[in-house]
Amino acid sequence: MAHTLPPLPYDIDALEPHISRSTLEFHHGKHHQTYVNNLNALVKDTDLADQSLEQTIKAVAGDDAKLGVFNNAAQVWNHSFYWQCMKPAGGGEPSGALADRITADLGGFTAFVDAFKKAGATQFGSGWAWLVLDNGSLKVSKTLNADNPMVHGQLPLLTMDVWEHAYYLDYQNRRPDYITTFLDKLVNWDFVAANLAAA
């Protein structure tokens, strides 16, 4: 059963002007598709061919000989998750149980924003910023390249891609502007809250 590219959960121009149609055409249509294609080629005719994406990620994590499989599988998962973490007219502050947990575990929404911006801005090179559930507590973290919190015993709740391909067409080298826009205009807090509620 080959892995497939999931469609974007909104129209390709729905995140404009914050993330352009051009960025999503490349990022979803080229980069994400390439990870899917690479993964399918790498697992073809192996014992991983019939495994789910999460099974594959967990099976090869930490195995240096399978680093290519891990990188492509995790990048497929990370991007599918990232698209859902955004929506048109998103951003701002969450409410309800999620807001209460951010206050209790992270010291409030402003403290979360500071930590999340710092995680995204200080990830040297390529990677991801995350809000995760770690031992029952919310935590902000960052990972390098394709790495995913699920192989570190954490449950991903929210992610932001900080690879240059995520923002360069729209923001060039201004990663902090992309991060601020992600938080102010794009975050889909309903998706994050649903992830927390399902934990």
The label of the residue with tokens 């249509």 reads 29
Cα separation of 65 and 36, whole Å? 19
Question: Binding of Mn ion at residue 163 (CB under 5 A)?
Answer: yes
The first and second tokens of residue 138, run together, are 């919310």
Question: Binding of Mn ion at residue 147 (CB under 5 A)?
Answer: no
Judged by CB under 5 A, which stretch of 5-13, 45-53, 92-100, 164-172 contacts Mn ion?
A: 164-172
Q: Which CB, 161 or 170, lies closer to Mn ion? A: 161
User: What is the amino acid identity at position 61?
Assistant: A
Site for Mn ion in 89-128 (CB under 5 A): none
Residues 6+ apart with CB under 8 A from 8: 14, 24, 28, 83
Closest approach of Mn ion to the CB of residue 183, in Å = 18
Closest approach of Mn ion to the CB of residue 168, in Å = 11
Q: Which CB, 83 or 193, lies closer to Mn ion? A: 83
Cα separation of 86 and 158, whole Å? 9
Cα separation of 102 and 187, whole Å? 15
Cα separation of 176 and 118, whole Å? 9
Looking at beta carbons, which residue is closest to Mn ion?
A: 161
The first and second tokens of residue 141, run together, are 């973290």
Closest approach of Mn ion to the CB of residue 81, in Å = 11
Closest approach of Mn ion to the CB of residue 106, in Å = 25
Q: Which CB, 23 or 154, lies closer to Mn ion? A: 23
Please give the angle made by the CA atoms of 135, 137 and 140, to the nearest 5 degrees: 105
Position among 70, 161, 179, 181 found at the interface with Mn ion (CB under 5 A): 161
Q: Which CB, 77 or 163, lies closer to Mn ion? A: 163
Provide the binding-site residues for Mn ion, judged by CB under 5 A: 161, 163, 166
